[in-house]
Amino acid sequence: MYKWIPLLFLCFLFACSSAQDPDANMDAEQKAADTSKEAQEKESLRKTYDSQKINASTTSETTDETAITPNTVTIPAIDVKADIENVGRYANGQMGEPGSVDGVGWYKDGYQPGAKGSAVLAGHVDSRTGPAVFYNLEDLQEGDEIIVTDDEGTEQTFIVQKSEAYDRKNAPLNKIFGFSYRRQLNLITCTGEFNKEAGTHDERLVVYAVHEDDVNPAG
């Protein structure tokens, strides 16, 4: 079943600011009003999602019975097992961040893991005291497993397909957060140089994974 995701105001990716007040690390540009370029990007996203909504409504297929509300995530290849908390969006449009450097945030206004669409999890790469939960996320390889579990122990397993790094202000939001006919799980963390003026890293790393049953779908 198609779900409308409020991406028009998801102007910036995961804040990655080490569990501080979200306003503390906003640079002047983030606090400023939308530029004409941002307005054009939002309009483009709106048209894209309008089109997807129409196209998705023509299919009766659904995989919502496999959707879960995530409670923990396990990534054996990089020795990660972490609790998941629900996060939304800050007033400036950024995806919220987990309250702990050892925790992971699920974008609750998006898709559930196991449903058609792109479920998104985000975690910190480091902190003032050292590595954080997704410090080794860049080491994931195609074929590695990501296991998401709900509070009743139901598991959904996703298989890593690829990783991409994007400028934090120019990431493909539609691709990361948007609708898909496959059950996808995308993991986000910071990468690149740390920008002291902005109080965050210059880039975001996105690991794209697909549900194990959708990697090579029949037909």
- Please identify every residue annotated as catalytic: 124, 190
Tokens standing for 86?
């629900």
Q: Which helix (H) or strand (E) segment is 71 a member of?
A: none
Q: 40 φ, ψ to 5°?
A: -65, -40
Partner residues linked to 120 by β-bridges: 186
Cα R_g (the chain), whole angstroms: 17
Q: 123 φ, ψ to 5°?
A: -150, 160
Contact yes or no for 95/22 (Cβ under 8 A): no
Q: Which residues have CB under 8 Å from 116's CB, separation 6+?
A: 1, 2, 61, 62, 63, 64, 179, 180, 181, 182, 183
The backbone region for 3, taken as left when phi is positive above 0, alpha when psi lies in -120 to 50, beta otherwise, is beta
